[in-house]
Chain A
Amino acid sequence: MAELQRDTFNVVIVGHVDHGKSTVVGRLLADTGALPQGKLESVRRECERTGKPFEYAFLLDALSDEQDQGITIDTARCFFKSKTRDYIIIDAPGHIEFLKNMISGAARAEAAVLVIDAKEGVRENSRRHGYILSMLGIRQVVVCVNKMDLVNYDQDHFKRVEAEYRAFLSGIGAVSPRQFVPVAAVAGVNLASRGKETPWYDGPTLLELLDALPKAPSKSDQPLRMPLQAVYKFTEHGDDRRIFAGRIEAGKVAVGDKVVFSPSNKISTIKSIEGFNAAPRTSVDAGWSTGFALSEEIYVTRGEVMSHVEKPPQVSTRIRTNLIWLGKKPLVRGRDYKIKLGTAALPVQLQKINKVIDASQLDHRLEKDEVGRNDVADVVLELRQPVAFDLTADCEATGRFVIVDGYDVAGGGIITAAVSDELGDLRAEARVRDFNWVPGGVTSADRAARHGHRSALIMFVGKAGTGKHTHARALEKALFEAGRNVYMLDGQNVLLGVDHDLWVDAAQSELVRRFGEVAHLLLNAGLIVVSTTNAIGLADATAVQALAPDAPMLLIDVDPTGSSTMACDLRITGTEPEHEVIAKIADLLRHRGITSRAS
């Protein structure tokens, strides 16, 4: 069994096209005896048959297109063993057209070997890949200065390449490589064994260097983060467990721990750790795809992040990021994209471009109003609704994301800073309130079971005089007659009582805050609350949601002019027959899981 404890280490090989990445890997496989019997001979025979000179790269470039063109198109994986550990080597393509393939390979790696052709020197993708490795969070980088045979194993030449590349990386703030190794992959010099050709080099061979790279430290000591992947209830065969499933990305959690889900601020306690064909356990830590039963049944949805109450993630609608764009169409303002962050998937737009870095030089900023294919950029993104996240420096898994354009993953990046939006203060208030909330003896799940629906906030928004109030009243009546526990919260009534002590010209923000707190209490009582932004001086309804983050909100935009571009769940002109509007809202309630399908 001792052998099972060997480390497995993922290494990606990157660098400019034709600098010899596949040859480095092919030779390493051959020299460590990792090739299947007969593979080397069969490739040699194939070369003889077709009149091509034998190349180690052919061992890897197994796809027919690649052998025909002599370049690596996609990332290939192969396996070999050293004396101390098992390696998974990811051979990434160096051609610019295949940058997304290089990224796919590198995103899986724990360390990188970057190959630079000694004769050609540092080229565009040597630089670009160096920057991307840094952005992808790969801290352990080794550089092979390859094809040393073509420069007569000249030490000065080697030193010049090293100096140039180190200067470039430090100039852009990227991680400086651990070591530069002079190699000649074709001849096997300084890969698995030391070459006589470089007596001036007394550093380790590539293999010695790889063996010495440490595994990434465990993330179990970081604050707990588990993006919620799903809530399962498989009722067949008499299973009545409700399981909150996800992978612990950082930290650890034990039975009895109080946990909070962000951004909803819902709090519960770990009752048990669930599994299949596994010994029962009382705690679980980073890396495990697990599931929990909770003591207090709460309603939370995929995309929320579970943490301990003491160290929750940040919550905002704006994030500053470094991203790389791979889309066929450029990243532009005013277009709807989808961000996938942890397990959340939410609408997002480009808010601001701080700078676009010229990927071929990476040393000067470009004035651009869009981010083009293969560009690296520093941008601010804006979401329609708040998301839980961390800075990538604090927690990698909740600090990075991809952007989907249409059906395709078109870019990815890391979060470098939180950008405050106008609702930060209200969110902070809600957090302090919810984390210290004294629960009654009846849970929201109990109430939902009794009422046949969950609580929800339905807000009619739009300009003054569009009939929002009339719609709200009609909706309240219709929902009530359908058996719902519904309450129309009229803003005037809040003004008359709760706001009685405020001056007539009191700040709108305080009106919003008080209205939101009242709405929150009614929602906490399990009601469907219907209201209009008349109540808060037509302020942005998302401010109210910031105070009631645990209840779903439906925005109904009443827009007679047809010119509104505001994000909403339903847009009406206000002239439709009332029963049609009500039927549409009832559909939305069902679709969002607020009312059950049956009733």
Chain B
Amino acid sequence: MDHLEQLEQQSVYIFREAFRHFERLCMLWSIGKDSTVLLWLARKAFFGHIPFPLIHIDTSYKLPEMIAYRDRLAMEYKLQMIVGQNKAALAAKDTFPEKLKANPKMTAEEQATARTECCGKLKSGALAATLHGTGERMRMNLKTGKYEVDPDHAPYTGVIVGARADEEGSRSKERYFSPRDKNDDWDVGDQPPEFWNQFKTDFAPGTHVRIHPLLDWTELNIWEYIKRENIPTVSLYYDQGTGTRYRSLGCGPCQSPIKSTSKNVDDIIVELKSGSLRNIAERSGRLQDGKHGLEELRRKGYM
């Protein structure tokens, strides 16, 4: 068994444990490469099926290719697709791009703060509302391909997430099964022990558990697996003749493409292994991270 197979088999095991222990289980699908690999691993675990809903948080600033790709796969794989959005913040123009438009002379410091606040509202806030059922959930009708208001408002108690330990310092401290308290807070200093493959599957009412099947995967592993399994990915990852591509997908206004001429999965693997990206952190193109930025966001529920 090679390393990719080992990773795959451990992820499958984690998926099945999650499905066994959480009656209200869902999976976050950001449309990015990691959570798309996650989607594929779920099909591996459940023999072609995905027996729980997928949740996508739409900030409205996602690139249009991502939304089209999401809806195409939802129809093709017959996914239980749920979309959540912070409509109030969008209507109130309480977002970083709107604030920048209103005040183009923001200092770098002010911009950083506005970005963190924006993530807090459009992502963490919308996610919490969608998970707890306090916000509106839109569910895809697989017959029509249209989204309809989901009558279900019950909270989810198990949430599968595609976080990887190699992404950034705070993620490297995560457990496979990581509890969140009633306020969605992550108590980094007091995490449960994780012996072998016995996970935290008992939880108090009102709390929930985040499940991380990809924790041990690296960015390179993800691309090698995409290649091995021939998993469809969104075109934004590849250079389409502009000499640029996205390495990591977030919101349009807060990410920039990298200079790269990788046109397919093979090119990216070479680039990561021995090329120009060998020693550059993946999230360096994401502007909200900064010093402690991501850790702060993650403590408050960001993925």
Contacts and interface: CB of A to CB of B under 8 A. Distances in A.
A401 B291 CA distance: 40
Contact of B169 (A62, A404, A408, A409): A62
Contacts of A412: 193, 195-196, 198
Contact of B202 (A46, A60, A291, A406): A406
Contact of A401 (B45, B173, B191, B198): B198
Nearest to A35: B279
B269 to A, nearest CB: 10
B16 A245 contact: yes
B198 A100 contact: no
Contacts of A107: 194-196
A67 to B, nearest CB: 9
A198 interface: no
Contacts of A136: 195
A573 B126 CA distance: 52
Contact of A291 (B47, B216, B291): B47
A78 B169 CA distance: 9
Interface of B: 1-6, 9-10, 12-13, 16-17, 19-20, 40, 43-49, 51, 78, 165-166, 168-170, 172-173, 175, 188-189, 191-198, 200, 202-204, 215-216, 218, 224, 229, 273, 279-281, 284, 291-292, 295
A289 interface: yes
B294 to A, nearest CB: 10
B170 A62 contact: yes
A63 B291 CA distance: 10
Interface stretch (A68-76, A360-368, A576-584): A68-76
A289 B170 contact: no
Interface string A11-41: 0000000000000000000000101111100
Contacts of A62: 168-170, 172, 295
A389 to B, nearest CB: 14
Contacts of B188: 63, 65, 73-74
Contacts of B5: 287
A237 B78 contact: yes
Interface stretch (A181-189, A254-262, A274-282, A499-507): A274-282
Contacts of A230: 16, 19-20
22 contacts: A6-B3, A8-B6, A36-B279, A62-B170, A63-B295, A74-B173, A78-B166, A86-B3, A104-B191, A136-B195, A230-B16, A232-B46, A236-B49, A276-B43, A276-B46, A288-B1, A288-B9, A289-B12, A289-B13, A302-B20, A401-B198, A409-B193
Contacts of A406: 202
Interface string A264-306: 0000000000111110000000011101000000000010000
Contacts of B44: 275-278
A77 B165 contact: yes
Nearest to A401: B198
B47 A276 contact: yes
Contacts of A245: 16
Given A63-B188, A287-B9, A412-B198, 9 more contacts: A46-B291, A73-B188, A104-B195, A247-B13, A275-B44, A402-B196, A407-B203, A409-B192, A409-B198
